[in-house]
Amino acid sequence: MKKGSTFCDKVKETIDRHRLILPEEKTLVAVSGGADSVALLLVLLQLGYRCEAAHCNFHLRDEESDRDERFVRNLCRNLSVRLHVADFDTVAHAHRQGISIEMAARELRYEYFKTLCADWRLDKIAVAHHRDDNVETLLLNLIRGTGLKGLTGMRYLQGNIVRPLLDVSREDVEAFLTAKGQMYVTDRTNLEADVTRNKIRLEILPQLRQINPSISGTLQDTITRLDDACALYKAAVREMRQRVMSGNRISVAALQSLPAPQTVLFELLSDYGFSSQQVTDIYEHADGEPGRVYDSADWRLLRDREMLVLRRKDDAYSCLCDVLPLEGFVQVTPDKAFSIRRVRCVEGFEIPRDKDVVCLDIDKLTYPVSVRLARSGDRFVPFGMKGEKLVSDYLTDRKKNLFEKERQLVVCSGKDIAWLVGERSDDRFRVDEETRHALVIRCQPHPVV
């Protein structure tokens, strides 16, 4: 802290500079019972903020977990602060979700805080990460390997989660509590150097302080500068996104014309859940044979001829109907509908030329008339031709990619294809001079149901 400034002054300065808590807001303070969270609760109360507290008992440290809960209950009772307490079977949750104990505790904790905010109309969630935690995060990310974002540390404001102590050190926290004569509990696992973060705290940082006694402040300043650099970097990526990406398509040629194209591609695709290893493979084979598909948790990426095409995974995409009525309006897929009408082919009748409209001779149709997705092996007689052609070959000739082929609709007359929807009708069902009645089907976009 700056010479002459108090712990409260520094925390208030951080809150005001980053607009973490507004005067009218009510804050939920996460209180474990350790020095950091106890100091956070005390300083927010001293600064006049309206606070409630929350404590999570994860039952991971036997009697220590219950000891911490008792301490927090007594602390909040003495401070006249409303306390919310939750008990969790953290090990069972970790096993159910297939995640680490640490990640399970994090999920349970923040989901509980979110529920409390909704139920009790609380505006912010204050957590007690301080400057040394931020420095440890920087070093941890460096050891594991990270991009620029991983070097910017924790955020002061992340959604409704605030970190008012990020500009004070652990030493500042302990001095504040000592001056107030305030006790706190110590988690013995924080003193064991068998966890990577603890190794950084207990072994690496003390050695770095021998080289530079102000290492924590120095690294915090570096984090601030990297955060500014990251903001500029993000602005550049947004500008480049507009140059290479249109809708769900990324132009390979435009991408390759950029400086550091693989880095830009990673920034684009990481938003869709693709890993750095996948992005490397995608970029290295961007000029390869089209048709390869890559999967993330929620998205698929197709390497097409000149484009990389993204599509959200949607196993529910299918026809919502089968047999078509001879008149009316029917939704056939989540995003398409048919308008169907019968017309008399009298003198002056003009056949629609729109690719999204088909005009079929009713007397040549075999019922039922149905709609479905195209299948492997489907054949039809393209309008104006005499011989059959595979639907897949026709779509390839039309330069349709795999994703487009997967969602290609066909209207069938009995077992025969009468219309490759949005593309071409079958010559066998064409309207000619002998046609008396025609079935006109128009395909149009429709909101997802």
Q: pLDDT tens digits, residue range 281-311?
A: 999 998 888 889 999 999 999 998 899 999 9
Residue 171 domain-assigned (yes or no) = yes
Last residue of a domain, one of 312, 345, 360: 312
Instruction: Provide mean pLDDT across the span 249-276.
Output: 93
- Give the Cα-Cα-Cα angle 25, 72, 5 (nearest 5 degrees): 60
Are 263 and 352 in a shared domain? no
pLDDT band per the 50, 70, 90 thresholds, residue 9: very high
Q: What are phi and psi of 332, to 5 degrees?
A: -110, -25
Predicted structure pTM score: 0.67
Residue found by looking up tokens 């190794």 in the block: 199
Asked if residue 449 has pLDDT above 50, the reply is: no
**pLDDT recorded at residue 370:** 94
* Residue 323 is assigned to a structural domain of this protein: no
Is 236 domain-assigned? no
Quote the domain boundaries for residue 279: 247-312
Based on the fold, state whether residues 42 and 160 are members of the same structural domain: yes
Based on the structure, what is the number of domains in the chain?
Answer: 3
Query: What pLDDT score was predicted for residue 318?
Result: 81
Question: Is 233 a member of any domain?
Answer: no
Residue-level pLDDT at 1: 58
Same domain, 138 and 198: yes
Same domain for 273 and 410? Answer: no
Do 13 and 75 belong together in one domain? yes
At which of 312, 341, 361 does a domain end? 312
Give yes or no: residues 58 and 207 share one domain. yes
Q: Kindly tell me if the per-residue pLDDT of 193 is higher than 70.
A: no
Residues 180 and 256 in one domain: no
Same domain, 332 and 439: yes
